[in-house]
Structure 1
Amino acid sequence: MTDYDDFAVAYARSNESNLFNAHYARPEVVRLLGDLRGRRVLDVGCGSGTLTESLVEQGAVVTGSDRSAAMVELARERLGDRAELDVVDLSSPLPYADASFDDAVACLVLHYVQDWSAPLAELRRVLRPGGRVVVVVNHPTAHAVVYPDADYFATREYSEDYEFDGRTVWLTFWHRPLHAMSDAFTEAGFRIGTISEPPPAPGTPVELLPPGLEPGRSFICFLFMVLEAV
């Protein structure tokens, strides 16, 4: 799994205003969750706390966790005592009691994990019955477009270079086809309530959009799913 400790500050700076986080993933997660006033929310893979802060501002009681100690420290600087923040590896048992949360968010974290069985089982355990998880992952169709010679139906590891605040880093992901995602959710005790492939948020600066993409139009980037605990 990619070690964000090595470039936490550069990633956090980019995350504040870039297309994919600030104008795409964060606003769509908030939209999908709806009214959060008084709801207990777990934000796994919280990073530097930008989404965590958005959830707090919506009235949620938020616990954020991340395997990167450097990221959690940045989140603590941002949020102070407005949220509980813990260093937790999603591949390990979560340090929370059964049915502790009404909702959870796994935004841009599961695609770093090869085996989803234990993480999803833990998310189901800490959610109350009827609770929701918003999952955001790299869109599997994008992988098929970028890597046309790869086997779409195979779960496979791949790495790509990205630039964050002027620094180039390599991120390692796991591609899995859509049916494999669905199977993993079902086996963990979830059903898919919503699938979203949204456009960037209204008001996104035109200069941030991919070449040729008109404002208000969707593009293949991330896949957003709302899972319901059954």
Structure 2
Amino acid sequence: MRKKIVPRKTKKPAKTPRKSGGSKPTLWDQASRWYDSLVGMSGSDYHQTIVMPGVFKMLELKPGRRVLDLACGQGVFSRFLLGKKIKPEGLDSSEELLRMARVRSGKSVLYHLGDAGDSKLLNGRQFDGIACLLAVQNMEKVEPVFQNVSRWLKPKGKFVMVLTHPCFRIPRQSHWGWDEEKKIEYRRVDRYANEMKVPILTPPFVDKLNFTMTYHRPLQSYFSTLHKAGLCVDSLEEWMSNKESEPGKRSRGENRARKEVPLFMAIRSVRTQ
């Protein structure tokens, strides 16, 4: 029987690119309530069960160490770190998300407003570790960001970034397919090696056809850019989804696919300079 591929349907949004940086309003400011409703005080299920525990483990920090929560949003990971007796600070370009972070964290966390690529930020502060959770792929230029990460880290400090897996989770260029003959679900990838930017419709803008932007990069791009910034990759982990399908004729194949195709990738690098 011929394999049937059913791609996801996507709408073509108007070309209104996201601008970020400093106190200038961004689309993330306008989408902040929607995003906050997804993540909340303690994070989504993925945050709580996979991403935050995994990042904390990879940072390998003792209580009392200082960590920068890069692109912190409304401060979910910063609050997680507080519970681990770590001293966090947050940095984000969205003033509205930082307002939510300050309301929920009180005076326990110092939050900074600005673009992660701005070398003038943080007044010479240095940290034992830096973490960036599911945000690097929303950054148009990672070169200045990684240069700043190297500058903000103490010698031998660790930088951990988590991405939706750049090999298997490429927006509009990868999707699930079902092999009816073998009764298995598989992942199809149409593009990978070339960098690309992909507009993503983000509530509350779906009807207005505005969007945020996702930037796909192959692994070699991340590794080479980290290296040029004086950051040496010493660990890489791939994390699977913990979801399970409702009982049905495809559930076994879907659950097997989730255990074989990673959802997230975590890359740890160490400052070498």
Specify the structure having the higher radius of gyration (Cα). Answer: 2
For residue 226 of structure 1, what is the aligned residue in structure 2?
Answer: 268
**Using a 3 Å threshold, how does the CA distance of structure 1 residues 5 and 99 change in structure 2: closer, same or farther?**
closer
Give the one of 132, 140, 154 matched to 2:158: 132
CA contact (8 A) 1:15 1:22 kept: no
For residue 213 of structure 1, what is the aligned residue in structure 2?
Answer: 255
Q: Does 1:180 align with 2:221?
A: yes
Equivalent position amino acid for 2:101 in 1:
A
Q: Does 1:34 align with 2:60?
A: yes
Give the one of 72, 86, 89 matched to 1:60: 86
Equivalent position amino acid for 1:198 in 2:
W
Equivalent position amino acid for 1:223 in 2:
M
Equivalent positions of 1:62-211 (< 5 A) are: 62-98=88-124, 100-141=126-167, 142-143=169-170, 145-146=174-175, 148-150=189-191, 152-161=192-201, 170-200=211-241, 206=244
**TM-score, normalized by length of structure 2?**
0.72
Give the one of 8, 11, 15 matched to 2:35: 11
SS in 1 for 2:47: helix
CA contact (8 A) 1:41 1:101 kept: yes
SS in 2 for 1:197: strand
Give the aligned CA root-mean-square deviation in angstroms. Answer: 2.9
Runs of 5+ unmatched residues, structure 2 = 1-17, 20-26, 176-187
Q: Does 1:22 align with 2:48?
A: yes
**TM-score, normalized by length of structure 1?**
0.85
Partners in 2 of 1:169 and 1:26 — Cα distance? Answer: 30
Partners in 2 of 1:137 and 1:119 — Cα distance? Answer: 15
Q: By percentage of residues, which structure has more helix? A: 1
Partners in 1 of 2:157 and 2:200 — Cα distance? Answer: 34
**Using a 3 Å threshold, how does the CA distance of structure 1 residues 46 and 94 change in structure 2: closer, same or farther?**
farther
Equivalent position amino acid for 2:267 in 1:
M
**Using a 3 Å threshold, how does the CA distance of structure 1 residues 99 and 82 change in structure 2: closer, same or farther?**
closer
SS in 1 for 2:239: coil
Partners in 1 of 2:82 and 2:30 — Cα distance? Answer: 27
Residue 221 of structure 1: CA displacement?
Answer: 2.0
Identity %: 20
Residue 149 of structure 1: CA displacement?
Answer: 3.9
**Using a 3 Å threshold, how does the CA distance of structure 1 residues 132 and 222 change in structure 2: closer, same or farther?**
same
Partners in 2 of 1:82 and 1:104 — Cα distance? Answer: 18
Residue 97 of structure 1: CA displacement?
Answer: 4.0
Residue 176 of structure 1: CA displacement?
Answer: 0.6
Partners in 1 of 2:65 and 2:195 — Cα distance? Answer: 35
Q: Which moved more, 1:117-126 or 1:104-113?
A: 104-113
CA contact (8 A) 1:98 1:128 kept: no
Residue 86 of structure 1: CA displacement?
Answer: 1.3
SS in 1 for 2:262: coil
SS in 2 for 1:48: coil
CA contact (8 A) 2:245 2:255 kept: no
Partners in 2 of 1:136 and 1:25 — Cα distance? Answer: 8
Q: Which moved more, 1:42-51 or 1:111-120?
A: 111-120
How many residue pairs were aligned?
Answer: 223
